[in-house]
Each structure stands twice: as structure tokens, then as C-alpha cells.
Amino acid sequence: MDKTNIKNEVRKHYAEIARERSCGCAPSCCDKEDTITTLVDYGKRGEDVAEANLGLGCGIPTEHAGIKQGDTVLDLGSGAGVDVFLASKTVGPKGRVIGVDMTQEMIDRARVNAVKGGYTNVEFRLGDIESLPLEDATVDVAISNCVINLAPDKHRVFMELFRVLKIGGHFTVSDIVTFGKVPENIRKDVEMWAGCIAGALDQQEYLKIIKETGFKNIRIIDAKNFSYPKGNTDYGFSSVTVEGYK
Ligand SMILES: C[S@@+](CC[C@H](N)C(=O)[O-])C[C@H]1O[C@@H](n2cnc3c(N)ncnc32)[C@H](O)[C@@H]1O
């Protein structure tokens, strides 16, 4: 599939969600039983960031990321800002959190949420995670929630992540990976790409890319399997939370 076309379709899909709060990362849109994001429950943590939670995540990276006061945190594909706002509370007034998203409508919505919530240590930048709008070695912790699977070039994403992290910095990302052989008709479906299914890499390949980029101490912190279509056993999908250090 053409990479530019994929990005345009993904952008269109998430622009619509930002405008209407329709369903997002799900193989069969709005089918609650199949929705990836039913795997995620922010619980009490989510109450005061509810407006920013559009139900698009597949994990809770902030829970495992070891973010500290004063850190500079980067969120790849920040959507309406849910994880940025959670991280903002932890880094405190001396830290800051930068969200990057390629969809203008998401950036607009996140900025409105930031003003409404009184978050003064956050910033939202329009940009592509394959070419991050950040200086080299400026980030302590990078997080991401159900986004990297949407990028056509995962190598570039992890290379960019490596570039912007400080030495000793780390990432904690939640994402979708696959196991078994996912059929070509699913792989080639652009709607399923936007739904976080078709672009997901095999778990071993995903970890190999991270290792080849130069990250150390790579570890899967959390994993939840699900099948699509329902009941299939030959292949499947997993929502994983992975960390790695520069
Ligand atoms: C499934 S949503 C997740 C949003 C957010 N992380 C959350 O958990 O609510 C995916 C987001 O990633 C953004 N996105 C997809 N591909 C991107 C890319 N290549 N660069 C930057 N943002 C991207 C979309 O615009 C969308 O806001």
C-alpha cells in the first residue's frame, strides 16, 4: 500500500473522530466486543482527564513509564491529550510534556482541553512521528498509546525516538502487535490500517526493529491478546506495553 495514501487515510479517520468523538481504534467500528480500547480502563486516574480520553488507547503507558518530577516527556500521537495530561501531573511545574500529532483537529482539541484543564506545563505540536519536531537529546521519557502501528515506517519512528531521547532516557509505549500469519486481505485494508489492525507488526519483528535501532534493556511490561475476527485461532493480535533505554 502507498505510504502517503495510508497517512492521508489515517489523518482523515482521526480528524473525524476529533470532530465527532466517534469510534477509533477498533477492527469493527463501534462493536464493543471487538474494540481494542475496551482493554483499557483508566479508572479513577481518568476522571479528571475524561474530556481528553476519546477511547483510542490500547494501554496505559504513564502507569509504567517511571516519569519523575521535572522530566521532559514526549507523547507520540497524543490525540486529544489524555496521556499528556496524566504525565503533566507527575512532572509538576518544573517539568513539561510535549504531545505530537499529525492531525490538526486532534491538536486543536488537545489545546482546548489544556486551557480548560488549566495545564500550563504542556504543549501540543503538529508533526509526524516519522520526523519529530524536536531537537536531538532533549527528552527524558517518551510515551505513546496505540499510534506506532499506524505509521508506515516503524524503523523511522524508533530512529526518531532514539534521536530525541537523552542518553539514559527511555520509552514506554503501548501498541498493537500480531502473532501468526495475518491474512493479506486484512493487511491490505486501509480502513483496518486506520483501525490499528492492518499496520501492526509481528511481535518479534517489532522487538527486532527496536533492538536494531540501538535501544537496550528492551522489555514487554504488559500484554493482552485478542482475536480478530472473533474466535480465530491461527493468528491474533496483542496489545503490548514495551520499554527500552537509550
Ligand atoms: C489511536 S489514536 C491514539 C490517540 C492517543 N494516543 C490516545 O490514546 O488517546 C492515534 C493518534 O495518532 C495520530 N497519528 C497517527 N499516525 C501518526 C503519525 N505518523 N504521526 C503523528 N501522529 C500520528 C492520529 O492523528 C491520532 O490522533
Residue nearest to atom 27 of ligand 1 (CA): 79
Inter-helix orientation angle 104-117/3-20, to 10°: 40
pLDDT value for 243: 98
Distance 182 CA to ligand 1 centre (A): 23
pLDDT value for 196: 93
Question: pLDDT means per 10 residues in the chain (246 residues)?
Answer: 92 94 52 59 75 92 97 98 97 98 98 96 98 98 98 98 98 97 93 94 98 98 88 89 98
Which residue in 45, 41, 210 sits closest to 142, CA to CA?
Answer: 210
0.75 exceeded by pTM: yes
pLDDT value for 1: 76
Distance 79 CA to ligand 1 centre (A): 5
Whether 52 contacts 220, CB under 8 Å: no
Which residue in 123, 166, 174 sits closest to 148, CA to CA?
Answer: 174
pLDDT value for 35: 55
CATH topology of domain 3-245: Rossmann fold (3.40.50)
Residue nearest to atom 2 of ligand 1 (CA): 56
pLDDT value for 31: 42
Copy the grid coordinates of residue 101: 500529532
pLDDT value for 37: 62
Distance 147 CA to ligand 1 centre (A): 5
In a mutational test of the pocket of ligand 1, which residue from 17, 36, 102 has the highest number of ligand atoms less than 8 Å from its CB?
A: 102
Distance 206 CA to ligand 1 centre (A): 18
**Extents of the domains making up the chain:** 3-245
**143 bridge partner residues:** 75, 172
